[in-house]
Amino acid sequence: MTSGLQLRPGIPICQTDLPLDWYQDEFRPYAEEYLALPDRTPETVLPWLDSYVRPAQDHFGDSLLLLAHYYMGGEIVKLVERYGGTVADSYALALQATRQPEKKIIVESAVHFMAESIALLAREDQQTWITNPKAGCTMEMMAKDHMVLPVADQLLERYGDDLVCVAYMNTSGRLKALAGRTGGAVCTSSNAHQVVEWALKQGSKVMFVPDAHLGANTAHRLGLDPSRVVRLADAERTRGAFPLDDDHVEGGLAALDQAQMILWGAYCGVHTVFTPEHVHWWQERNWRVIVHPESRLEVVQAADGSGSTKYLWDQMLTAPAGSRLVIGTEGHFVRNAREVGRSRGVEIMHLADIPDANFGTAGCGCATMSRNDPPHLAGILDLLRKGCAPDANRVLAGDAVDEITGSRERLDATERLQLTREARSALERMIAVVEHGA
Ligand code: SF4
């Protein structure tokens, strides 16, 4: 499926230029050339980009696969599609390698957990590369393995086999492996309710990582008693592992012992700016409001509908001409949806873009994902063609990345095999639950 987005002549690419010292050494020459271009219009950028992308395509032929996520800003979505690549949500991206075994070099413009999910499912002869290793998901960055695993160990010690972990797709392979080890599964925003419902039948307690809001929305959708849904300490505050005690558990240890769902305390800054007041403002003016379930529970309850990235895109695509739709999710996605919606006679607005001074917040894009820009795309393809792409951009299952410094801790081959087995089992359970009900 293509997004229907097009690069339009004369209209500059919206990406803000990144500072030169933001680039890895190997990518700096490409950034210098890009920054020296007279403007950012497609007429200027495309010939420059073509001079690197086309030779790489000729070199790798059909074995090259370019991927991007819907949230990518700066027209990368359009550029990747222009070169025959695929744009999708994180779940569909993860399946690209297995579904296309003829693709051997997979280059992803998105965040690290998405590239790692591709690597987890890839075959031995498929390589996964990320255009910028510093592109991370801030929610996932609040649930690194060194933060979550010591807490999970304490929970396992307390509850044993009664505890099952459900890992949202926005996690590292190390947490997906935790889900696999505990008999749990991975989930996405579209199937979290099915996976958690299944997991509650496997054990009496579900540890849900990392998104506290998706967890709370899922518990509400399943009709769980709110007093039996307990949130652990705010991960933005702890920034590390913590002892399982009354200070780090909402409601204390007594509530924890009664809980059916235990929510890790991470969240997405992009989706938590929304309030019920935003929703009501638009509804009072006869707009239909739909939101992503990484938003707060009260926002989801106030909205007219909620669902995954694919759900939101499909709502735009199927809305009758003349409809007015407000979308509460990532800013670049809404900008792209507005463009395609306009061509169909559907008016689209971003939930937080309210023309009223009483509302201080404006809708924002996923800034970390947008660390992938045209110089990164040109650079990685050129370096791969020359056979000298930096190892830091190679993505292997189990890599633990620090997106601030770009540093990476890599497992040895035996550890990686074990982790891949465990994480895959969690992914396969999700597929089994969604496709076969168990
Ligand atoms: S929008 Fe939020 S959850 Fe999605 S990748 Fe960006 S930081 Fe992560």
Q: Does 359 map to a domain?
A: no
Could you give the number of structural domains in the chain? 3
In eight-state DSSP terms, residue 324 is E
| Percent with pLDDT over 70 in the chain | 95
Residue 60, SS3 per DSSP: helix
85 and 37 co-located in one domain? yes
| pLDDT interval class at 2 (50, 70, 90) | low
pLDDT given at position 13: 67
Mutate-to-test residue for ligand 1 from 91, 111, 327, 333, highest number of ligand atoms within 8 A of CB: 111
How confident is the model over 272-290, as a mean pLDDT? Answer: 97
With vertex at residue 3, the alpha carbon angle to CA 133 and CA 15, rounded to the nearest 5 degrees, is 45
Condensed to tens digits (0 to 9), the pLDDT of residues 203-259 reads 889 999 999 999 999 999 999 999 999 999 999 999 999 999 999 999 999 999 999
CA–CA distance, 194 with 222 (Å, rounded to integer)? 9
69 or 100, which is more confident? Answer: 100
- Domain hosting 108: range is 20-137+369-406
Q: Which atom of ligand 1 is nearest to the CA of 137?
A: 8
pLDDT given at position 28: 96
Determine how many CB atoms are found less than 10 A away from the CB of residue 17. Answer: 14
For residue 216, give the nearest of 271, 138, 156, 290 by alpha carbon: 271
Mutate-to-test residue for ligand 1 from 90, 91, 93, 139, highest number of ligand atoms within 8 A of CB: 139
233 and 286 co-located in one domain? no
pLDDT given at position 317: 95
CA–CA distance, 217 with 227 (Å, rounded to integer)? 14
179 and 258 co-located in one domain? yes
Mutate-to-test residue for ligand 1 from 138, 172, 188, highest number of ligand atoms within 8 A of CB: 138
Condensed to tens digits (0 to 9), the pLDDT of residues 172-206 reads 999 999 999 999 999 999 999 999 999 999 988 99
149 and 242 co-located in one domain? yes
User: Considering the entire predicted model, what is its pTM?
Assistant: 0.92
pLDDT given at position 359: 84
| pLDDT interval class at 349 (50, 70, 90) | very high
In whole angstroms, what separates CA 361 from the centre of its chain?
Answer: 22
pLDDT for 426 beyond 70? yes
Label each residue of 256-283 as H, E or C.
HHHCCEEEEEECCCCCCCCCHHHHHHHH
Q: Does 313 map to a domain?
A: yes
**Both structure tokens of 418:** 């074990």
What rounded mean pLDDT belongs to the chain?
92
Rg for the chain, CA atoms, rounded: 22
**Residue list, ligand 1 pocket, CB within 6 Å:** 71, 111, 137-139, 170, 268, 270, 294, 330, 366, 369
223 and 264 co-located in one domain? yes
CATH of residue 307's domain is 3.40.50.10800
DSSP output for 147-158: HHHHHHHHHHHH
pLDDT for 61 beyond 60? yes
